[in-house]
Amino acid sequence: TRGMSLKHAPEELRRDREIVCAAVRENGLALRHVSEEMRGDRDVVLEAVRQDARALQHAPEDLRGDPVLQADSVRGNRLAGYRAQAPVILV
């Protein structure tokens, strides 16, 4: 799929937030091909897990334990619809 095209992309594209978010929205498992910095970005991981819960295995260990990123929490998030960009809410 298009999301997996990051596998062969130059590093500069793998760390471009817009490109990375578009890729993981298309295929959550594309998270394995993004830069280390982007894999550590909670919002990017949320986008990936929303598309495919298995993407969480490609996130850093500290994010794997994040309750918000667990499949049940992501599935139950009613703030954004299917494949919607993760909302940023400042409280």
| Section 68-91 average pLDDT | 57
DSSP 21: H
Is residue 45's pLDDT more than 90? yes
Minimal CA–CA distance to 10: which of 25, 21, 20?
A: 20
Minimal CA–CA distance to 35: which of 56, 61, 17?
A: 17
Q: Structure pTM?
A: 0.76
> At 82, is the pLDDT very low, low, confident or very high (cuts 50, 70, 90)?
very low
